[in-house]
Amino acid sequence: MRKILSLILVSVTLLACEEDSNGPSAQPPSNLVVTVDKSNITDGVINVEATADMANFYQFDFGDGNGLVRDDDGKITHTYAENGTYTLEVRANATSSVYINHTEEITIEKGDVVIPDDGYTTPLSYDGYTLVWQDEFDGTTLSSDWTHEIGTGSNGWGNNELQYYRSQNTTVADGYLTIEAREESFSGQNYTSSRIVTMSNQSFQYGRIDIRALMPEGQGIWPALWMLGSNFPTVGWPSCGEIDIMEMVGGSENTVHGTIHWDHDGTKADYSGSKTLTSGTLADKFHVFSIIWDETSIKWYIDDTKYHEADITPAQLSEFHENFFFIFNVAVGGNWPGNPDASTTFPQQMIVDYVRVFQAN
């Protein structure tokens, strides 16, 4: 997946702003020097470094709606998600209102992600089932069924993950949802990505679920297509139950994992299975990840090949007889995959063609 990006530096301005107060004014910094490193430009990445005399901290506004980002060392990485012309502003601050700044016009012309045409697909109907909900990701924005979860969560979402989740890493275009993991400094983290949920909008009890998706790749990349019990806000995890329709650990891109997690007398319990492809990887072409879930069991499939089954009739697994909502995300790092290393390239994309829910007639 290759991205083409061109960067045109058009204009530079320097100015100083001083706060108005009755006491002595803070002195603005001086000799601001800004360097834009384009060595990773083919990945859509720019690295900005600022130095100035008497600066206490630096602020960066990349002109794409994220506002000012503070970095005390004056070094920051940014990836532009969309083509366009943006005004980059770099401030060297003595205080929040006493600073000198530097601006540049940046024009982004980034090529589209190359999406393969081949891969497995599934039908829009099955005997004995009715299609009750679907998202084909038509249009240019997420539907109102989805919302973003923002930030780092608790302890890296409970897994020591390294990314900051934000909405800017999600795009919808040409019939596909793309969640992109980027190596960029943002709000104290070195990576960004997205995590979207249907909580409070769409939830389901039982049925067949098909998700056609293309995975990212690389050590430390951790994509997931999964579900949580709708009572999560009140009972927490793992009491709400968790159904992992698909997880992949970067570095082992030829293996899909399917898992359930639940509460067993106050202790977390889980039951997992996996399937390793005989050839190729989950990042080579589209695969369809499915579960068939009813009153007695949950069965996991890849491309209509069953590879795992869980009996959910025991009373201890009562969580799996309630409604569940969807979560799609790409994590970076964490307890399971470990951290990215020198072999990991960014950005990385998980691309989803469709999600469909069928329920028995």
Catalytic center residues: 242, 247
Q: How many CB atoms lie within 10 A of CB 159?
A: 16
Phi-psi region of 22 (alpha: psi -120 to 50; beta: other; left: phi over 0): alpha
Strands ordered across the beta sheet of 75-79: 30-37, 45-53, 75-79
Beta bridge pairs of residue 246: 225
- Our measurement of the distance from residue 177's CA atom to the centroid of its chain's CA atoms, rounded to an integer in Å, reads 11
Neighbouring-strand partners of residue 259: 244, 272
Q: Tokens for 73, please give them.
A: 């060392």
Q: Is 161 in a helix, a strand, or coil?
A: coil
Phi/psi at 134 (5° precision): -155, 155
Instruction: Tokens for 165, please give them.
Output: 């989740």
The helix (H) or strand (E) run that includes residue 234 is helix 232-235
Asked if the bond preceding 314 is cis, omega within 30° of 0, the reply is no
DSSP 90-148: EEEESSSS-EEEEEEEEEE--PPPP--S-B----S--TTEEEEEEE---SSS--TT-EE
Q: How far apart are the first and last CA of the chain?
A: 41
Question: What is the H or E stretch that residue 233 is in?
Answer: helix 232-235
Nearest residue to 133 (alpha-carbon basis) of 120, 146, 147, 149: 146
Spatial separation of the C-alpha atoms in residues 103 and 55, rounded to whole Å? 17
